[in-house]
Amino acid sequence: MTKLKSKRFLPHYHGKSWIDVPLPREARDWTHGGVKSIAANDGGRDKLAVVLRTLNKNQAWKFPKRKHFFFSDLHGDPEAFAASLVACGGVKKTGEKTTDFVLSEDGKNANFIIGGDCFDKGPSSLGLLRMIRHLKKQGARVRVLAGNHDVRVLFGMVSVGKAQTVESEYFFIRTGQKIIPLLKEIVDEYLSDKGAMKGIPSKKACRHALYPKHSWFEKFPKAAEGRISGPQVERELNRIRKKYESFEDKCHEEGLTLRQVYAAVMKWRELFLEPKGEFYWFFNHMRLVYRSGSFLFVHAGLDNKIAKFLNEGGTKEMNRAFRAALKASPFDFYYGSMCNTVRTKYRRVDHPFSDKGARYVRRAGISAVIHGHRNLHNGQRIAMRRSMINFECDTSLDRHTRKKEKVRGRGASVTIIDPKGKVLGVSSDYPHIKVFDPHLTLKQLQTPNKERQKR
């Protein structure tokens, strides 16, 4: 057995009676659960043991001085975030509303990391952002990282109605049906009153502003030549063609006209891009990466170019470059290494991360990468990537994903980096809190399976 006797480092669930989500009470070493806890790829448990021996021998682990609470892929689900805040022990829930909470003593001294993908899917992207803002107003130290959905929404919204170019005119339609809940939310909250649609152009004009031209499908391959691969061009063409043909019907299914869609885009810009807008802070404070101790927090992962940048320039310079890139060419950013950091799933089509990249990351003093993006059904998981330890933390929190993928119950999870030298994976989808301790976990990995079962 890998049951841990001490509970001193486990989170206290303050105000749990206000959430209808089961949370684990007992802890097990991270080795418990087989492939549900440690992925089999790239050497799996054996490679993890080898890497841990080296890191431990070199005293490479530098745990933060404060607790860090990492939440990722919340996808517009305020209730899932509320339950996850209770799970971290950093807040006390005080009522039914999602913003009914105050910081606990743990929360007052901790860092809250939002790991990207706040938008899309629903039920309330705006409600989720209001929760994050409320958390900040409570005095919490909050860091917001970019996710692929966040970047895609931004580029889609700013591309509408601009001087159309082959490189940018398709970005709104590229967002597809996943953006419809956000558009519907804006229409319901801001554009339902009499006169709200006054001044909005005709359906034909709105379609022209929202959609790429018919000629785009012929011109895009030439514009993309030498900048992205041939197979990638084909995937983009197929993806945009499907969304081009289905988007209006999907909007109608939710009761939205193209005029309302256009009006919602304009309202979104006012809310997010104008200095006086309620959500102006969101993109203005967004980071690509965050580092504390020897832990690197990102949304998706790394490639060789970004790994080299990390080693030579550090995270501050990387975040400066990210903010500048957001204001430059959407095409160059979206298909480049910078955006690969929020998009990669380490597939052949993604930018490569090789042993060379892993060496850059180690030279930068990073012992583990904490990220989301690849959704799981059994809580957090460790995965090895070219001898780099990755904590995969997208646990399918939002209700849309859970319904679509038939994951039972409501979602709640948080990954906790504890100054006492532990990483905790708390999830409503796993019966125990997973505990990673570099030395104790290595000991478990070195213990024969039969002996572990006897304990």
Structure token digits, residue 260: 């309302």
Q: What is the DSSP letter of 287?
A: B
- The pLDDT tens digits of the residues spanning 121-177 come to 879 999 999 999 999 999 999 999 999 999 999 999 999 987 778 999 999 999 999
Domain residue limits, the chain: 20-146+286-454, 151-273
CA 72 to chain CA mean position, Å? 4
Provide the 10 A C-beta neighbour count for residue 282. Answer: 20
Rounded to whole angstroms, the Cα distance separating 20 from 228 reads 46
Tell me which of 3.20.20.140, 1.10.8.50, 3.30.360.10, 3.60.21.10 is the CATH number of domain 20-146+286-454.
3.60.21.10
Computed on alpha carbons and rounded to an integer, the radius of gyration of the chain in Å comes to 22
Q: Which tokens in the block code for residue 410?
A: 């409501």
Question: DSSP 3-state assignment of 390?
Answer: strand
Q: Cβ(415)–Cβ(369) under 8 Å?
A: no
Q: Which residues of the chain have pLDDT under 70?
A: 1-6, 449-455
Per residue in 9-54, pLDDT tens? 899 999 999 999 999 999 999 999 999 999 999 999 999 999 999 9
User: What are the structure tokens assigned to 432, written together?
Assistant: 């125990």
Q: Are 367 and 389 in contact (CB under 8 A)?
A: yes
- Whole-structure pTM over 0.85, yes or no? yes
Instruction: State the alpha helices, DSSP H only, in 146-213.
Output: 148-159, 171-175, 180-190, 203-210
